Amino acid sequence: MKLFVGLGNPGGQYAFNRHNVGFMAIDAIAATHDFPAWRKRFSALVAEGRPGKEQVLLLKPQTFMNESGRAVGEAVRFYKLDLGDVVVFHDELDLAPGKVRVKTGGGVAGHNGLKSLTAHLGNDYVRVRIGIGHPGSKDLVTGYVLRDFAKPEHEWLEPLLGAIAENAPYLAEGANDKFQSRVAHAMQSEPDEAEKPAPRKKAEPRKKAEPRAKESEAEAKSEAPQGTLASKLRRWLGS
């Protein structure tokens, strides 16, 4: 079994903070893969399910960020998990907004949630680093991470959370590199106007092509199941 941990602060006043993007990622995974309702356990909220073939326990500590390790440590000891089975989703100042990197071990870079986890568990757990960008000065960091995502940031945040959730089964299988590459591919921006090929000259409309056009429209809808997830994410982000 894998333990997916989202880092954040409990309480509605923190729900949409940049520091809570780890909670948001876990919520997106729960919604996308139909996990059951959250329940209280290990000084946290937990939900157990299968985003793919592997069993996963989702966990959101309710101990505030700087005590996250206490809740996670309880779950790790109860299930006798190896640290390689613990996957932690957290905000990362040193990554550009919308970027995601996965690594095992490493420094904590002043992140209070990671400091607590390392103190309680050791250092060799898996980190899913979710880029939120840096405010530019160390003095501005606390205010920056404890403020809500700005409206323009929702344009990249919502698809990013959707991509993380959609590809979570790879993390559950231990295919961390594949998860990272699939999320990066999903977040690739449209080419610049100068790089786009010139538009083709429109052909004369033909009546017999109409049924195929309708079929294509139906296929497009069937291949884009994110509508429900998108609406949930908008509610989470207060938009």
Q: Which amino acid is at 103?
A: K
CA 84 to chain centre: 19
Residue 154 annotated in active site: no
Q: What is the DSSP letter of 148?
A: B
Of these residues, 19, 33, 90, 111, which one is catalytic? 19
Look at strands 56-61 and 2-6 and give their pairing.
Answer: parallel
Ranges of H-type helices in the chain: 21-32, 68-79, 112-121, 141-145, 154-166, 168-172, 176-186, 210-222, 226-236
Cα–Cα distances in Å, from 144 out to 151, 192, 211? Answer: 14, 30, 52
- Residues with a catalytic annotation lie at 19
